[in-house]
Structure 1
Amino acid sequence: MTTPRRPRARRFRTALIALALAVALALAACNVYVTSSARARITTLDALARPRAFAIVPGARVNDDGRPSLALQDRLDTAAEAFRRGLVRRVLVSADDGSGRAREVDAMARWLIARGVLAAAVVSDRGGVRTAATMSRAATVFGVRDALVCTQRFHLPRALYLARAVGIDAVGVPADRRAYPHQRFDDAREFLARVRAVFDASMPRRGGT
C-alpha cells in the first residue's frame, strides 16, 4: 500500500515553513547582535570622550563629474569637522578604485583638503572593496588602533562591529545631514549586509583583505 500523497505534501510544507522561520530568526538575530553591540559606541562630535588617532571614512558613490554623492559628502564633511576641531589627527579614506571605476579615493581626498584637512593628514586606501575590507586593511595595512568612524546612521552599527572585530577601538558619529534618496533600499540591503558581517568577523583575519 502506497503512502497517501496528501500527508506527505503536508509534511513537506510544514518542513519548508519551519526552515523559513529558522532562517528568518537567524537573520533577525544577526541584526540584533550587530546593532546592539554598537549602540553604546555611537556618539556625537560634541560628546566625544577623547580625541582619536584616525577618522575612517568608508567610500560611497562618486558622480561622473568627480563630485562625491550626497551621502559621501556628508561623511567627508563630518570627518573634516572632526579634524578642524582637533578630534582626529588623520583621516583614512577607503574605497574601491578598481578598474573601470571612478577614482573615489582621489575625489574623497580632494573634498577633504578643500575643507581644511591638511594633505599630509589624508591617508588613502584604494582597496576598500567592502566595509569589511576597509576595516581589515585599516588595522593590518595602516596600523589603525583607535578611530572615529564617519558614516550614515544605518551603516554605523556594521562598520563599528567590523572595526572592533579586527581590533580597532572604534566609536562612530552619524554623518546624516539630510534626507537621502533610496533610503528604504539602503535599509533593506543593510539588513542582509549585517548578516554577512557576522560571518566576515568569524573568518580568520588576513592582512589586506
Structure 2
Amino acid sequence: MYKALQLIKKIIVVSFFAILLFIAFCEYQVNQKGQACYDDLQAIPANKIGLVLGTAKYHKSGINLYYKSRINATVALYKAGKIQQIIISGDNGSKYYNEPKTFYQDLTKAGIPKEKIFLDFAGFRTLDSVVRCKNVFGQEKVTIISQEFHNERALFLADHFGLEAIAFNASDVPFSYGIKGYFRERLARCKAVLDVYLLNTQPKFLGEPVIIPQTS
C-alpha cells in the first residue's frame, strides 16, 4: 500500500512538472512573434488591410473594455492612413449574437465608410479568422488589431498558415478586469500550439471566396 501511494505521488509530481514545462514551451513559441507587435501608431508600417479580431460588445459590468479598445485602435489606424480597408472577423454563432455586426455599427458611427469594411461571420476562433483572411478573403499581408496578448497568438498562427502579418496593440485593460482572460489565454496558447504542431486543426467553415476591391 505504501509503495502504491509513493508511486501515485511520483506520478502526480512528474505530471505537474510536465504540464508546467509544456505551458512554458507554448509561451515561448507564441512570445517569439511579439516582435511584430506595435504600440506606436507612428511607427507601425502601413498595410492595405486591417484584420480586427472580434469580441463581445458587452461585459457583465457594461461595455466590454477589450471591445472599446479595439474600436479605438481600428479608428486610429484608419484615420492615420495605416490601413485602408477593414475585415472584421468574429463569432456569429446565432441570430442573437453577432460580433462583426456590432463592430461594423460602431466603426461606421466613428466615421469609417461602410464600403471600406468587410464582415467575416465565421471567425469563431482566432485560427479561423487568420486562415479565412488568407483563404477566403484572399489576403497575403495584413495588420491584426487586438490586445497584445491576443496579437501574439494571432501572429503565431498567421506565421504557420502563411499569412504575412504585423499587429497593432489596442490598449490593454486593468489586470483586475482581465484576470480571467489572463488564465484563459494561457490555455488558448497551449491549444494554438497543439492545433499547429499536432492536431492540424482547420477552420470550422471556409466557403466561397470574398473579393475585396483594390484601392487606389
Q: Shorter-normalised TM-score: what interval?
A: 0.7 to 0.9
Q: Residue 9 in 1 paired to residue 1 in 2?
A: no
Aligned to 1:33: 29
Q: CA deviation at 1:111?
A: 1.1
Q: Secondary structure at the match of 1:134?
A: helix
Aligned to 1:168: 163
Q: Deviations over 1:84-104 (max 9, x none)?
A: 111112111011111253222
Aligned to 1:47: 43
The CA distance in 2 between the partners of 1:171 and 1:86, in whole Å, is 15
Q: Deviations over 1:152-186 (max 9, x none)?
A: 12212111111222211111111016537631111
Which of the numbers 65, 68, 71 marks the counterpart of 1:70?
65
Q: Secondary structure at the match of 1:52?
A: coil
What are the within-5 Å matches in structure 2 for residues 1-209 of structure 1?
A: 5-35=1-31, 37-43=32-38, 44-48=40-44, 50-63=45-58, 69-176=64-171, 179=174, 182-202=177-197, 203=200, 205=202, 208=206
CA contact (8 A) 2:29 2:156 kept: no
Q: Deviations over 1:32-68 (max 9, x none)?
A: 2111x212101122111x311211111111239xx96
More displaced 10-residue stretch of structure 1: 13-22 or 188-197: 13-22
1:123–1:178 distance in 2 versus 1, CA, 3 Å: same
Letter matched to residue 206 of structure 2: G
* RMSD over equivalenced CA pairs, Å: 2.2
Letter matched to residue 74 of structure 2: A
The CA distance in 1 between the partners of 2:172 and 2:3, in whole Å, is 57
Q: CA deviation at 1:77?
A: 1.7
1:68–1:124 distance in 2 versus 1, CA, 3 Å: farther
Letter matched to residue 186 of structure 1: G
TM-score, scaled relative to structure 2: 0.85
Q: Deviations over 1:72-117 (max 9, x none)?
A: 1211221121111111121110111112532221111111112221
Which segments of 5 or more consecutive residues in structure 2 lack a partner in the other structure? 208-216
Q: Secondary structure at the match of 1:88?
A: coil
Letter matched to residue 109 of structure 2: A
The CA distance in 2 between the partners of 1:189 and 1:23, in whole Å, is 15
Identity of aligned residues (%): 23
Letter matched to residue 154 of structure 1: F
Q: Deviations over 1:101-151 (max 9, x none)?
A: 322211111111122212111010000111111111111111121111111
Letter matched to residue 34 of structure 1: V
1:22–1:181 distance in 2 versus 1, CA, 3 Å: closer
CA contact (8 A) 1:94 1:134 kept: yes
TM-score, scaled relative to structure 1: 0.87
Letter matched to residue 141 of structure 2: D
1:177–1:205 distance in 2 versus 1, CA, 3 Å: closer
